Structure 1
Amino acid sequence: MNGDVTYTIGELARRTGLTVKTVRFYSDQGIVSPADRNPAGHRRYGADAVARLELVRTLRELGLGLPAIRRVVERELTPAEVAAAQAEAIDLRIRVLRLRRAVLGAVARLGSTPEELTLVHRLARLTEDERGRLIAEFLSGVFGGIGGDERFSAVARSLTPELPEDPSVEQVEAWVELAQLAGDSGFRALLRGLARAEAAEAAIAEERAGTGLPRPGLAVAVRELAGPAVAAGVDPGSAEAAAVVAELVERYGQWCAGAVPGDTGALRDRLAERLGAMADPRRERYLELLAVVNQWAVPESWAAEVDWAVRAVA
Structure 2
Amino acid sequence: MSPDGTLSIGDLAARTRTTVKTIRFYSDQGLLPEAARSSGGHRRYGPDAPARLRTIRSLRALDVPVPEIKRVLDSGDGLEAVVARRLAGVGGQLAALRWREAALRALHECEPGQLAERLELIGAVSVPPDTSALAHYWRRLLPVRLSARLRAAVTEAAVPQPPADPTPDEVLAFARVHALATAATDGCLASHRPVTETHPDLLYDGLHEAHRLVEAAVRAGRAPGPGEALDCYVAAYARAAGARDTPAFRQALAARLAAADHPVMHRYWQLAGKLIPGLTLGAADAWLRDALAAHTATV
1:125 CA drift (Å): 3.8
**Greater C-alpha Rg:** 1
> Partners in 2 of 1:54 and 1:62 — Cα distance?
13
Cα distance between partner residues in 2 of 1:283 and 1:45: 65
Over the matched positions of the two proteins, sequence identity in percent amounts to 25
The 8 Å contact of residues 10 and 20 in structure 2, kept in 1 or not, is answered as: yes
Q: Distance in 2 between matches of 1:69 and 1:287?
A: 43
Aligned to 1:100: 96
Aligned residue for 2:18, secondary structure, equals coil
Secondary structure at the counterpart of residue 169 of structure 1: coil
TM-score (norm 2): 0.51
Q: Which residue of 2 aligns with 1:124?
A: 129
Q: After superposition, what is the alpha-carbon deviation per residue over 1:93-129, rounded to whole angstroms, capped at 9, x for unaligned?
A: 2343144224313422432644333312279245x5x
Superposition RMSD in Å: 5.4
Aligned length: 226
Q: Is the 8 Å Cα contact of residues 13 and 19 (structure 1) preserved in structure 2?
A: yes
Give the corresponding residue for 1:24. Answer: 24
Aligned equivalent of 1:90: 86
Q: CA contact under 8 A between 2:9 and 2:43: conserved in structure 1?
A: yes
Indicate conservation of the 8 Å contact 2:139/2:155, yes or no: no
**What is aligned with 1:110?**
106
TM-score (norm 1): 0.49
- Structure 1 equivalent of residue 177 of structure 2: 178
Mapped to 2, the partners of 1:69 and 1:182 lie a distance apart of 42
In structure 2, how many angstroms separate the alpha carbons of the residues matched to 1:68 and 1:190?
46
Letter in 2 for 1:108: L
How do residues 159-238 of structure 1 correspond to structure 2 at under 5 angstroms?
160-161=158-159, 163=161, 167-170=163-166, 173=171, 174-183=173-182, 185=184, 195=194, 223=224
Counterpart contact for 2:37–2:44, Cα < 8 Å = yes
CA deviations over 1:36-72 (Å, ceiling 9, x no partner): 537x665554533222322322343344444454454
In structure 1, the residue matched to 2:202 is none
Per-residue CA deviation, residues 114-163 of structure 1 (Å, 9 max, x unaligned), is 4333312279245x5x54223322x34xx779xxx89xx79955862153
In the alignment, does 2:290 pair up with 1:285? no
Say if 1:162 and 1:5 are closer, same or farther in 2 by CA, change over 3 A: same
1:255 matches 2:251 = yes
Identify the residue that residue 239 of structure 2 maps to in structure 1.
Answer: none
CA distance in 1, matches of 2:193, 2:43: 82
Change (3 A) 1:283 1:46: closer
Residue 52 of structure 2 corresponds to 52
Q: Secondary structure at the match of 1:170?
A: coil
Letter in 2 for 1:285: Q
Distance (whole Å) between structure 2 residues aligned to residue 158 and residue 24 of structure 1: 52
24 and 68 in structure 1: CA distance in 2 versus 1, 3 angstrom threshold: same
- Shift of the 93–3 alpha-carbon distance from structure 1 to 2, 3 Å rule, reads farther
Post-superposition offset of 1:288:
0.9
* Alpha-carbon distance between aligned partners in 1 of 2:225 and 2:268, rounded to the nearest angstrom: 20
Quote the residue 1:15 is aligned against: 15
Distance 2:96 2:52 in 1: 37
